[in-house]
């Protein structure tokens, strides 16, 4: 197995072009586990930890450009105000040691339906920046996940950054696991209210072959908020509305039974999480904490 260690972005892209089968490795919290269990044996590993553009974040025209190799710990510590949903999701990743190593780029590369970052990225309308020697392109999060552990990156491309707009409204993230820390999600839900655009965004995880948005639920809630004038009035969110939103989120799931949970439980928990999350988010909006 080859081990490639580029130190600049140009070298990294050249290496990826030359070795399209090379698997990029940053924290190794997923790649190394797969290799240690002998599940995956790539022809080459491409160590991206020496490429500084990948391991930093910065502001670009009012948006956050998050290097794909920034650790979850740094997102929690440095970006809790700018990316609250992603920071909440990051807190649920593994253990402190795993959060010190693991990256959103790794989550995107693996594209597991259970990746913790995905629902938050979907809810935040994140964009994924992909680079190759041929150039740079941007893919919207909801177009990035193509199938179980398949994503939109071409074999010659590296996932280089995630671009997110700081929120205009509250965000929430909830996850179900069968222990209270260090657990892979049985189901997860991300929610962002975007009062500037009067839209609602969601992301659901571990309940379908890919992370996905609950489109019908988003449109339903946005329309209800609009028609009742709730964006302006900031009145209480009707309980029945929260409940119906939960049911519509649930309807977007298509889970399976597996060793971590039953399909029925996953759907049930999705409805409960969505109902609770929208209630919390709306309370934040009413008290303007989330704006």
Partner 1 sequence: MTTPTQATTPAAARTRTPIGAPGRLENDAKGGVGTSPQRPDGALKVTGEFAYSSDLWMDNMLWGVTLRSPHPFARIRAVDIAAALATPGVVAVLTAADVPGRNVFGLELSDQPVLADDVVRYQGEAVALVAADHPEIARQAAKKIRVDYQVWEPITDARAALGHPTWNRLHDHPAEDVELSRSAAAIHPKGNLVRHLKIRKGDPDEAADVVVRGEYSVGMQDQAFLGPESGLAVPDGEGGVDLYVATQWLHVDQRQICTALGLTPDQVRLTLAGVGGAFGGREDLSMHVHGCMLALHTGKPVKMVYNREESFFGHVHRHPAEMRYEHGATRDGTLVFVNCDIYFDGGAYASSTPAVVGNGGTMGIGPYVVPNVRIDAYGVYTNNPPCGAMRGFGSVQTAFAYEAQMDLLAAELGMDPIDLRVRNAMAEGSVTPHGQTIDSPAPVAELLQRLREMPLPAEPDGADIDLRSLPGGVANSTHGEGVKRGVGYAVTYKNVAFSEGFDDYSTARVQIEAHQGNPLVVVHTAAAEVGQGLVTIEQQICRTELGVENVIVHPKNTDVGSGGSTSASRQTYMTGGAVKLACEAVRDRILTLARDRTDAPLDDAALVDGNIVTPSGAVLMSIADAIGEAVIEETREHHHRPTEEIDPETGQGFAHVQYSFSAHRAVVDVDTELGLLKVVELACVQDVGKALNADAVVGQIQGGSAQGMGLAIMEEIVVKDGKIRNPSFTDYLIPTILDTPPMPIQVLEYADPHAPYGLRGVGEAPTISSGPAVAAAIRQATGLPLTRVPIRPEHITGT
Binding site for partner 1 (CB under 8 A): 33, 36-38, 88, 91-92, 95, 172-186, 259-262, 264-265, 267-269, 272-273, 276, 280
Beta carbon nearer to partner 1, 228 or 272: 272
CB of 61 to partner 1, least distance (A): 31
Other beta carbons less than 10 A from residue 8's beta carbon: 12
CB of 109 to partner 1, least distance (A): 18
CB of 188 to partner 1, least distance (A): 8
Beta carbon nearer to partner 1, 127 or 284: 284
Q: Alpha-carbon distance 4 to 240, whole Å?
A: 56
Residue 198 Cα distances to 51, 169, 281, angstroms: 38, 10, 14
CB of 13 to partner 1, least distance (A): 30
CB of 62 to partner 1, least distance (A): 28
- The strands making up 158-164's β-sheet, listed across from edge to edge, are 57-60, 63-67, 158-164, 127-132, 135-140
Beta carbon nearer to partner 1, 169 or 205: 205
Beta carbon nearer to partner 1, 222 or 273: 273
Beta carbon nearer to partner 1, 5 or 283: 283
């Amino acid at each position: 197995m080859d081990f490639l260690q580029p130190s600049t972005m140009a070298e990294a892209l050249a290496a990826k072009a030359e070795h399209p089968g090379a698997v990029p490795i940053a924290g190794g919290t997923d790649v190394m586990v797969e290799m240690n269990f002998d599940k995956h044996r790539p022809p080459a590993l491409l160590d991206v930890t020496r490429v500084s553009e990948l391991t930093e974040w910065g502001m670009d025209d009012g948006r956050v450009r998050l290097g794909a190799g920034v650790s979850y710990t740094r997102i929690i510590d440095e970006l809790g105000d700018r990316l609250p949903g992603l920071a909440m999701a990051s807190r649920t990743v593994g253990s402190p040691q795993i959060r010190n190593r693991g990256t959103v780029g790794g989550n995107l590369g693996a594209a597991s339906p259970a990746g913790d970052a995905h629902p938050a990225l979907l809810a935040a309308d994140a964009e994924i920046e992909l680079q190759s020697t041929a150039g740079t392109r941007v893919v919207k999060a909801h177009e990035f996940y193509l199938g179980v552990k398949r994503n939109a990156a071409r074999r010659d491309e590296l996932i280089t950054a995630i671009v997110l707009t700081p929120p205009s409204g509250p965000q929430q993230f909830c996850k179900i696991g069968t222990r209270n820390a260090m657990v892979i999600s049985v189901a997860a839900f991300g929610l962002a209210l975007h009062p500037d655009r009067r839209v609602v965004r969601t992301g659901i995880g571990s309940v379908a072959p890919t992370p996905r948005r609950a489109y019908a639920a988003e449109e339903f809630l946005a329309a209800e908020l609009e028609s009742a004038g709730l964006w302006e009035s900031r009145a209480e969110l009707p309980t029945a509305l929260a409940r119906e939103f939960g049911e519509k989120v649930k309807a977007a799931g298509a889970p399976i039974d597996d060793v971590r949970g039953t399909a029925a439980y996953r759907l049930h928990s999705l409805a409960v999480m969505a109902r609770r999350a929208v209630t919390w988010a709306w309370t934040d909006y009413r008290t303007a904490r989330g704006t």
